[in-house]
């Protein structure tokens, strides 16, 4: 009997130790991912600041290369933000995200080419390659802009359709709530508030409402009406381009 109890206690102890080790590893991995994301974001910020300084403070091919890289990075980040935010509510945008992933591969390749051209000492060679690099940049940013604008137009259209449907439903509901106006016309100007039906239902609701005790039936106090509540917007954004997805759910 004593040996069984000791065995159970030992197994429980080992289970707690294993659980503690697993939790420690998970926390360490999450902290490492957070540090890596912070470093990547800081690096991207430094690169963008450097590119802006080059595009404004230099002339010639160096300034043109910096402008191309800024245009490329800005367009790709904005498109990624729009697609990832929209895909949370619209599953149809998942295919657009797949297309953007393929386009992003071309964008990374172009950005590397532009980076190498910045380090190229032969400025005449760089100047000769600049038209082709500009054309590639315009093609990639044009495709990214088209995806982003289509996603935003789709979201706006859905919002307009939903608002139109909601407005129609509210019109029907407000007509039902003001049913006495129809009853007045039908009864020749006699109100229905003193008869059965809605008046009885309203009094029953008010008497059962909290705080109705001690007050006259059907005489709610000022401010007791339901308050309008605006649902929070569930959309989230802020995913910089080339930012790796957060694999927190991974083991």
What sign does the CA torsion over 89, 90, 91, 97 have?
negative
What pLDDT is attached to residue 24? Answer: 80
Residue 2's SS3 state is helix
Mean pLDDT of 4-10: 79
pLDDT in tens, 10-58: 788 788 788 888 888 877 777 767 766 677 667 767 777 777 777 777 7
Residue 177, pLDDT > 80, answer yes
* pLDDT band at 205; cut points 50, 70, 90: very low
- Cβ neighbourhood burial of 64 (10 Å; 0-12, 13-18, 19+): buried
pLDDT in tens, 50-82: 777 777 777 788 899 999 999 999 999 999 999
Q: Which of 91, 48, 81 is nearest to 147 (CA)?
A: 81
Q: Which of 34, 21, 20 is nearest to 248 (CA)?
A: 34
**The 3-state secondary structure of 173-203, one letter per residue:** HHHHHCHHHHHHHHCCCCCCCCCCCHHHHHH
- 180-204 burial: b if 16+ Cβ within 10 Å, else e: eeebeeeeeeeebeeeeeeeeeeee
Residue 180 contacts residue 198 (beta carbons within 8 Å): yes
What pLDDT is attached to residue 169? Answer: 93
Mean pLDDT of 207-236: 46
């Amino acid at each position: 009997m004593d040996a069984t109890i000791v065995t159970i206690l030992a197994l429980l102890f080992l289970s707690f130790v294993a659980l503690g080790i697993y939790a420690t590893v998970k926390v360490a991995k999450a902290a490492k991912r957070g540090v890596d994301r912070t470093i990547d974001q800081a690096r991207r910020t430094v690169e963008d600041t450097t590119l802006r300084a080059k595009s404004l403070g230099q002339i010639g091919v160096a300034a043109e290369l910096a402008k191309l890289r800024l245009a490329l990075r800005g367009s790709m980040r904005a498109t990624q933000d729009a697609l990832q935010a929209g895909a949370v509510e619209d599953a149809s945008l998942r295919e657009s995200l797949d297309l953007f992933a393929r386009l992003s591969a071309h964008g990374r390749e172009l950005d590397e080419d532009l980076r190498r051209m910045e380090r190229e000492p032969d400025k005449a060679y760089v100047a000769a390659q600049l038209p082709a690099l500009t054309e590639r940049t315009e093609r990639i940013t044009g495709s990214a802009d088209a995806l982003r604008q289509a996603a935003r137009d789709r979201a706006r259209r859905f919002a307009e359709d939903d608002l139109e449907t909601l407005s129609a439903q509210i019109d029907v509901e407000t007509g039902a709530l003001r049913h006495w106006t129809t009853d007045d016309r039908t009864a020749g100007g006699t109100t229905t508030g003193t008869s059965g039906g809605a008046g009885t239902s309203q009094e029953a609701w008010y008497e059962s409402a909290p705080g109705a005790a001690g007050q006259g039936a059907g005489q709610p106090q000022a401010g007791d009406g339901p308050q309008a509540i605006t649902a929070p917007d569930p959309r989230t954004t802020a995913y910089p381009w080339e930012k790796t997805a957060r694999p927190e759910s991974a083991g």
